[in-house]
Amino acid sequence: MVEVRLHGKDIKELNLAPYAEKARRVAEQIEARSGDGNDFLGWMDFASRQSEEELQDIIDTAKMIREKYDALVVCGIGGSYLGARAVIEALKGFFPDDDFEIVYLGNTLSADYTYQLLRHLEGKRYAINVISKSGTTTETAISFRLLKEQLLREFGKDYVREAVFATTDAKGGTLRKEVNKEGYKSFVIPGDIGGRFSVITPVGLLPIACAGIDIKEFMRGVKDGEKDYSSYDYALNPAYYYGLLRYLLNVEKHYTSEMFVAYDLHYKMIEEWLKQLFDESEGKNNQGTLCSSGIFTTDLHSMGQFIQQGSPVLYETILRVVNTNFDLEIPEDKDNLDDLNYLKGKKLSDINHVAYQATLKAHTEGHTPAIVVRVDKMNPYHLGNLMYFFFRACAFSAYMLEVNPFNQPGVEVYKVNMFKLLGKPGYEDK
Ligand code: PA5
C-alpha cells in the first residue's frame, strides 16, 4: 500500500472537511458503478476476475516468444502501449541483463524514427505484438503494415502468420477481422476497460511478460490494490486522499498544472503513462489540471529555476521509491582533484535521497506544494499496486470534477481533420 503526504508552506490551510460529504458520495458512486461512463469500470475488479487460464496462456506465449525470437516489436499507441513500456522500463532499466530486445513502433508517424527502427530490425527474427482496441488507429495500422511487409519480404508468409500476436477487441474492428482471416494468435481487450486502464489486461501483460517480468506478482499487487484502495473514507484510502488533494489544489488553490516528479531516469515512462491517465480522463468541459513531468535531479538543471521562482501555477506529485534495486559507493581518490573526497564511502542512492530532501524543502518553502507518493521498492508487486492506486485516484478526482473519466471525445477532432486531409473514404464531407 502506498503512502501519501502533502507538503507546502501555505497549504496547511487546505481544509478537506467541507468536501467530505461529496467525497463520500463519489466513492459510493464508484463502488456502485453508477456514475457517467460506468460501463468502463471493468478494471476495478479485473485482477480478481481474470481466469488462471488466461494468465497462464500469456505466460506460456511470452516464454515461447522469448525462446523463438530475438526481439519483440510492441506496436500500439496511447493506452495500447504506454503502460507496458512504463512497467518494462521501470523494472528492467535501460540496459537490462537480457539478450531479448523489446522495441516500440505504432506510437508515431515520424518517418525518421520508423525508417531507422525498421532498418535496425532488418535480418532480425522478431515477433510483433500489435495492440489496438479499435483496430483502426492510423499510427498502429501503418506501422503494422510496414512491419509485416518487412517480415514477409525477409522470411515469407508462414513466418508472418506465426510471428504476429494481436491484442484487440473480442469481436469488432478491422484487426479482429484480420486475426480471423490470417489465424494469428490473439488476446482480448475487455470491452469494459478503456486504453489508459488496460495495462493490467493482456494489452500490458503480454509485452511485460515478454520482458521476463513476473506478471503473477504484478497482478497480485493489482489485486491487493482492490482492497487497499476501496474504503469510502478518504482518511483511510490513500487513493481517494490523493484524488481529493488534487481536486482541492486545482479548484480551491487554482493550481492549473501538476508536475509528476521521480528521481530515477527509468521512471520517465511511468510519468508519461500518468500524464495520459489524468489528462485524458479529466481534461473536459474546460476543466482539469494539465500534467507535466520531470526527472530530478536531471530537470532541476533545466526547469528548477521556473519551479522555484517562476509563475506559481504548479504543484508536484513526487514518486518516492525508498529502496533502489542497485547501488554504488563513491570511491576515495588520493589526489582529490575533483574535491569529492567529502563524499567518499557514501552510497549514490543516499546522495540522491539528500537531493530529494533538499529539493522538497526548497520548493515547498517556496511556492510549490508537493504531494509525496511513497513506495517501498520498485518491483512487479509494488508497481502493480501503485498503478491500481492511480486508477482509483484518477476515477475519483475526475468524478469530483463531475466529468466522465472514461471517454475522450476531444481526441477525435484531430483524427477527423487528418482523415479528411488524407482523403480517407467516408470523411470527404466531415
Ligand atoms: O486511452 C485511450 O483510450 C487511448 O489512448 C487509446 O488507447 C489509443 O488512442 C489507442 O487506441 P486503440 O487501442 O483503439 O488503437
Contacts of 338 (CB under 8 A, 6+ apart): none
Hey, how many other C-beta atoms are within 10 angstroms of the C-beta on 275?
A: 17
3-state SS assignment for residue 321: strand
Low-confidence ranges of the chain (pLDDT < 50): none
Residues tagged active-site: 280, 301, 415
Helix axes 111-121, 138-155, angle to 10 degrees: 30
Probe ligand 1: pick from 133, 198, 281, 413, max atoms within 8 Å of CB?
Answer: 133
Give the separation between CA 3 and CA 189, rounded to whole angstroms: 31
| 75 Cα to the center of ligand 1, angstroms | 12
Order of strands, sheet of 71-75, starting from the edge strand that comes earlier in the sequence: 101-105, 71-75, 126-132, 164-168, 185-188
State the virtual CA torsion across 269, 270, 275, 280 in degrees, nearest 10.
100
Tell how far CA 389 is from the center of its chain: 12
The DSSP string of 186-203 is EEE--TTS-GGGGGGSHH
Domains of the chain with bracketed CATH: 3-34+224-400 (3.40.50.10490), 42-213 (3.40.50.10490)
Q: If you take atom 8 of ligand 1, which residue's CA is the nearest one?
A: 78
Scan for cell 525498421, then name that residue.
118
pLDDT of residue 66: 98
133: Cβ below 6 Å to ligand 1? Answer: yes
Contacts of 365 (CB under 8 A, 6+ apart): 9
132: Cβ below 6 Å to ligand 1? Answer: yes
Probe ligand 1: pick from 40, 80, 407, max atoms within 8 Å of CB?
Answer: 80
pLDDT of residue 430: 66
3-state SS assignment for residue 137: coil
176: Cβ below 6 Å to ligand 1? Answer: no
E strand or H helix that includes residue 261: strand 257-262
Q: Side-chain half-sphere of 124: how many Cα atoms within 13 Å?
A: 20
pLDDT in tens, 276-313: 999 999 999 999 999 999 999 999 999 999 999 999 99
Pick the atom of ligand 1 nearest to 196's CA: 1
pLDDT of residue 69: 98
Own/partner long-range contacts of 52-61 (Cβ < 8 Å, ≥24 apart): 54/187, 54/202, 55/205, 55/215, 55/216, 55/219, 57/187, 58/187, 58/202, 58/205, 58/206, 58/209, 58/215, 59/209, 59/215, 59/216, 61/165, 61/185, 61/206, 61/209
Pick the atom of ligand 1 nearest to 189's CA: 13
Q: If you take atom 9 of ligand 1, which residue's CA is the nearest one?
A: 78
250: Cβ below 6 Å to ligand 1? Answer: no
Read off φ and ψ for residue 281, nearest 5 degrees. -85, -35
Hey, how many other C-beta atoms are within 10 angstroms of the C-beta on 351?
A: 14
